Structure 1
Amino acid sequence: MATFHSVSLALRRKDPEMFREKISPYLNLFSGDDDEMKDFLRAILVVFDHIPSCKHLLERINKSMDSAAQYDKSYREPWATIIHHDFWCNNIMVTKEQPPRVTILDLQTTTLGSPAIDVIFLLLTSVKLEDIENRLDYFLQYYYDQFTAQLKSLGIDIVEFSYENFVKEIDTVSKLGQYIHALGHTSVILGEKGHTSLDSSDANYNMDAIDTGFKVNDKHIRKFEWITLEAEKRNWI
């Protein structure tokens, strides 16, 4: 991920005209239906019926959902680079060989944006709770170290890219929608295996026929609680 972000950023810095003419036109953020997105996001609120420790945050969570459904397209310099915008475990393939090779899949939502979006989304959704709950800052620092090392190797002055400003980027994108984005995908990742709300055998289905509900399990409850209390602690909600 750090290589993906740093190479794109360096290319944009070193040859801005080429980037603007040949790459930027293809970096259009996916724009979905806001109402359909809100319906999906509201459906996950049922999880909080099982989490007493988060009851005091429901009003803030609802406000976050309203803003998350708007597909924020903002970015801030100097961080703007090509981002995946849907960087979770289902979109990554890693080989078992050493050193492992990584393939990034599903590039249909790539856009110009903050690398912090991909970083926090991957960490919140796709790292096991026992590995992340007390080590989020460790993983953020690790990514930052790899990212800035790559930039230096590509001849980019990293004086603008302080860790303090990187953490501010993480906070900003989490407030603008990544906290909610992470909850939505967590509901899928930790869903009961073999259960689906979509009958894919019906070639004529439409969005009205899709049940946005899901079966709540203990893994949902534990992960939603951790993500939400972490969001409260870091003022993301």
Structure 2
Amino acid sequence: MRVLPNGTLLDFFTGLGVTPAGSSIGYLKSTNKGASWSAPTFPIDIQSSGAVTPNSGEAVRDASILFSVAVDPMSGALYLVWQDTRFSTAKCSTPNGPFDIEEILFSQSNDNGATWSTPVKINKTPVNATKPCRQQAFIPAVAVAGNGTVVVTYYDFRYDTDSSDFEGTDYFALFCNTACTDPGKWGYEKRLTEASFNMLDAPNAGGHFLGDYMGLAATGPRTRTVHPVFGIATAPNVTAEFTRKITLP
């Protein structure tokens, strides 16, 4: 649920099997404090099959049909991020077969959700011609800092090595100050993990599981700080939650 500055309520959800795409981000709208609601609208399709570990190809339970949404409390702009493969051209080849490359896509609405910008890829995971599986990015979260900066967090495998029993994973934050529908404006990135952790240590619950969502919140109006909460596999079958203060540039 998100509340716009004018009091409009938007209840977001994933619709399964209700559009030709199969999975779509939808919402219901209420302009009278929830007394009545609009019919559902499905502005964004999700094209995702889920991430896998880059060496062994084991499934990552990344909630690839889910998404994250934020609203700017000053301007009312809405921001959506989700996993998607529509722009990927390389294939992730593993012992379990080829997979499409998961990326982080972004769209925004400046008219209370009536229209949305064309989705663009924003994650800065480096292209890896030798090991395309290390280009995967997954489990995004989005928030708006008090100064209007849009912040997106996600995992990827960019620092993974060729070890078959260590699938190196890291968590990153990405920032945009203006014109965020232009992927070139997402220029500053910060690594949030001190060192890569082993995805294979994460408990296996239909895939190695760090969490369906990760937390991300601003500290308050007109501030330049945000606080992510994210899972790291710290030992076999153990995932611990971490946070750190991010002061925006």
Q: Normalising by the residue count of structure 2, what TM-score does the alignment of the two structures yield?
A: 0.22
**Higher relative contact order structure (alpha carbons within 8 Å, sequence separation ≥ 6):** 1
Structure with more helix by fraction: 1
Q: Normalising by the residue count of structure 1, what TM-score does the alignment of the two structures yield?
A: 0.23
